[in-house]
Amino acid sequence: MSVAIYARVSTLTQVDGTSLDSQIDFCQKKIKELGIGGSIEVFREEGASGENIERPQMDRLRENVKNGSVTHVICTHPDRLSRNLVDKLLVCGEFEKSNVELIFVDTEYKNTPEGQLFFNMQSAIAQYELAQIRKRTVTGRIKAAERGQILPMRTTPYGYEFQDGKLVINEEEAKFVRMVYDWYVYKNLTLREIGEKLHELGAKPRRGKQWNASSIGRILNSETYAGTFYYNRRETKKVKGKTKSGYVRKAISMRDKDDWVSITVPAIIDKALFELAQRQREKNKTFSGNVKHEYMLKSLLRCGHCGRKWQATTYSGRKDQRYRSYRCPNKFPRKYGGEVKKCDTHAIRAEQLEDFIWGIVFEIVSQPKKYIERIGEGAKAHEIEINETIGALKIRFEDLNKQREKLKYMFLNDLITEEEMQRDMSGINKDIGIVENQIKALQSNQDEQTNKLLAKESFESMMEGIQKMLKEELSMKERRHIISLIMDEIVLYFDGDEAKVICFGPMEHILKEAKLSGDIDIESCSQRFANMGY
């Protein structure tokens, strides 16, 4: 049987007189003062927060208490035991159940209603102080981030180094980041293939010894590489229990985007390439080939009559030959009765449609300026108009605020009655609310125009990459990838037996509308492209 001394220092705060050695000395004096016999065992908790009861030395102490090897637990103050009221009461209950007497050096604690009330009040105050400390710490970090200062992080993003509160580019790693984006967007490599290439080139990840899908995915999904670092994105809360590695469990959730703090950092890639990678990630979720046959346009085709995505399939011909084709699933619907109607469309041979769309690709790439101008058409002018309107509304907002202050002044100087002030103030506040909503709506529209201009930049960047790719002989998979870069969707509809297509590009802009009967001369497009020196 032993007497246990529990001492703890926190990671959040260090106060004079609470060092581990001082706490242990005070506890030993208390043991002598009370004349408690038996061996003494010390439980030193170094650098552990009082917010969570799951701590190595506390766990060991509770286990010893449970086994009946402890008669007394000596601690300098209740907040050394825990700053959380619920955890504190839980541990005290365990001690009482095992007939272990809990003694505090600085506080009189007795197992009486009055003693427990006093103890609980102290615990509640300690918990409040901890919450205030955390609040001030978080607020200070956010203020620092708003000033453009990046706080030290456990692991800096791959491709960067942390220096004097800022992220600076690590050129040795940055070249691999650029390769990752190039392989993913233009070479259409999988994450596994990218990881293998990085390993072959000797690139070392920041975490672990080998590259994996999650580490490469973080590079492709982080806006930091395009020049914007976000602070205060995640919210971490401790939960009961521990991980298999012995760490305290944490629940991580994403805060609302309005709470994020954006910080401009040196960009490794341009925003256009980053947006292309995000589009590619979305398309990769659905854009895949048939198991037995390759289809260049799978997941891109939509029926112009019923709105369904077209299927890639095969049908039997003479001499047991199989032919690739595309068709609307409602041509032969699997559901019957009710509102399900058969779609009056035709199946199209895959080779015919794929050659036709590939010809459109040649036309677009051989004269990209025509289509780039179409994507950005009107976006800049509309953005200027929105900015002018927002400026006028902000002036109106300032005028209304001045009117509100004027009303307060008139009331304080007995120029108007309280009733008159409240009546006029109500009307002004209503107008202010309307103006604020109008500004928010216009700013949202402004973001849409920015996205359109960004899509134009992405298209320009994409064209340069595609022109390089077309210098080589391309496989079906590579052609399919190029089409998916240029076109988000291809709508097919029929006018009698004549098929027509509408090709949609970034931000739902129409890139081309043509008849399948031959609006595109593939040979002349190919020749024109060759003559341009690509």
Instruction: Give the model confidence (pLDDT) of 297-344 as tens digits.
Output: 888 899 988 888 898 888 776 666 778 889 888 887 765 445 557 787
Between 120 and 91, name the one with better pLDDT: 91
Q: pLDDT tens across 27-83, in order?
A: 999 999 999 988 999 999 887 777 777 888 999 999 999 999 999 999 988 888 887
Which pLDDT does position 136 carry in this prediction?
A: 63
Query: Angle 171-185/418-469 helices, nearest 10 degrees?
Result: 80
For residues 138 and 18, membership in a common domain is answered with yes
pLDDT range class, residue 113, cuts 50, 70, 90:
low
Burial class (CB in 10 A: 0-12, 13-18, 19+), 425: middle
Domain membership of residue 239 (yes or no) is: no
CATH of the domain at 73: 3.40.50.1390
For residues 329 and 449, membership in a common domain is answered with no
pLDDT range class, residue 15, cuts 50, 70, 90:
very low
Query: What are the distances in angstroms from CA 410 to CA 121, 396, 421, 431?
Result: 48, 21, 8, 20
For residues 363 and 485, membership in a common domain is answered with yes
For residues 69 and 100, membership in a common domain is answered with yes
For residues 12 and 128, membership in a common domain is answered with yes
For residues 60 and 168, membership in a common domain is answered with no
Domain membership of residue 464 (yes or no) is: no
Domain membership of residue 241 (yes or no) is: no
Domain membership of residue 256 (yes or no) is: no
Q: How many domains, in total, are found in the chain?
A: 4
Which pLDDT does position 286 carry in this prediction?
A: 57
Q: What is the mean pLDDT of residues 152-177?
A: 85
pLDDT range class, residue 261, cuts 50, 70, 90:
confident
From 97, 79, 86, 112, select the one nearest 13 (Cα to Cα): 79
In this structure, what token pair is assigned to residue 365? 């790439």
Percent of the chain with pLDDT over 90: 15
pLDDT range class, residue 133, cuts 50, 70, 90:
low
* Strands in 260-400 per DSSP E: 261-264, 301-303, 311-316, 322-327, 348-349
> Which 8-state DSSP code applies to residue 508?
G
CATH of the domain at 279: 3.90.1750.20
In this structure, what token pair is assigned to residue 299? 């997941």
Domain membership of residue 408 (yes or no) is: yes
For residues 359 and 383, membership in a common domain is answered with no
Can you say whether the dihedral through the CA atoms of 524, 525, 526, 531 is positive or negative? Answer: positive
Domain membership of residue 439 (yes or no) is: yes
Between 225 and 106, name the one with better pLDDT: 225
For residues 432 and 340, membership in a common domain is answered with no
For residues 363 and 476, membership in a common domain is answered with yes
Which structural domain, as residue segments, surrounds residue 319? 301-367+470-531
Averaged confidence pLDDT in the chain: 79
Domain membership of residue 259 (yes or no) is: no
For residues 275 and 308, membership in a common domain is answered with no
For residues 269 and 120, membership in a common domain is answered with no
Among 111, 144, 177, residue at a domain's last position: 144
Which pLDDT does position 439 carry in this prediction?
A: 85
For residues 410 and 513, membership in a common domain is answered with no
pLDDT range class, residue 151, cuts 50, 70, 90:
low
Among 395, 427, 456, residue at a domain's last position: 456
Domain membership of residue 151 (yes or no) is: no
